Every structure is written in C-alpha cells, then in structure tokens.
Amino acid sequence: MLLSLVTVVVEDYDAAIDFFTRALGFELASDQPAFTTADARPKRWVVVRPPDGATGVLLAQADGPSQAAAVGNQTGGRVGFFLEVDDFDAEYARMSEAGVRFVESPRWETYGRVAVFLDISGNKWDLLGPT
C-alpha cells in the first residue's frame, strides 16, 4: 500500500505552486487541466512533492464557500503535515530566507529537532530533523 496524495486546499494555484516549489523546495510533479468546477470555472490537477518523495500534495483551489472556509484550517488549527529533512539547520535557514513563516523557534523533542511553520494557506506543518 502507498499513500500517494494528500490534499491542501489553496486560494490560488500559481501562488501555491510558487510557495511549495520555491520556498519549500518541492518539485512540480503535475500541472494539467482537469474537469471544470460546478460553476464552469477551469480546474487543474496540480501535484507537488518533495524531491524523491513518494507522497505528493494535491493543491486544490477552493471551489465554493465551504471549501474557501477550509483554506488554512484543514486540521482545525493543529499541525497536520510533517516534513522530515536530513539537515535541519540548513533547511531551517534556507526556508527562513525564502520567506517561510515559522511560528516558533526550533526545539528538541524526543523524536528530533522540530519547528512549526505555516504554508501559504496558513496550515501548520512541522519541520522535523533527526535526533
């Protein structure tokens, strides 16, 4: 079994692609036209993933008021996504310089180094490094 995709609801495809590829260093795996939305606006199938990552993130532009309300709050304010890196200090510095907003300073936990950051929509992620 393989968890192939998780969805992040975003306000704008292109701004989200820029954030995930430039600021987080993900690769753009797919950006294709898809079926239209309920009100006939064009839709895209946009997938980003970490380099050599198996699981991708489907960037889904909000379609309608209920989806728009979920932007930035997909996990009820909890950390819902976890990005593991080999060199925590280097990635923390690179991401900070790229404009990623960390909401706390790095700390040590029993499972390794961790710092919480926000994605372009405001969802919380953990940046995790080895113990």
* pLDDT tens, residue order, the chain (131 aa): 999 999 999 999 999 999 999 999 999 999 999 877 666 778 899 999 999 899 999 999 998 899 999 999 999 999 999 999 999 999 999 999 999 999 999 999 999 999 999 999 999 999 999 98
This prediction's pTM: 0.92
Q: For 29, which DSSP code?
A: E
Give the pLDDT of residue 41.
76
Give the pLDDT of residue 39.
67
Give the pLDDT of residue 34.
87
Give the pLDDT of residue 63.
87
Q: For 60, which DSSP code?
A: E
CATH number at residue 44: 3.10.180.10
Give the pLDDT of residue 72.
94
Residue 38 sits in which domain range? 5-129
Q: Where are the beta strands (DSSP E) in the chain?
A: 5-10, 27-34, 43-49, 56-61, 79-84, 101-102, 107-109, 112-118, 124-129
Number of domains composing the chain: 1
Q: Specify whether the CB–CB gap between 59 and 43 falls below 8 A.
A: no
Give the pLDDT of residue 130.
94
Q: Specify whether the CB–CB gap between 126 and 116 falls below 8 A.
A: yes
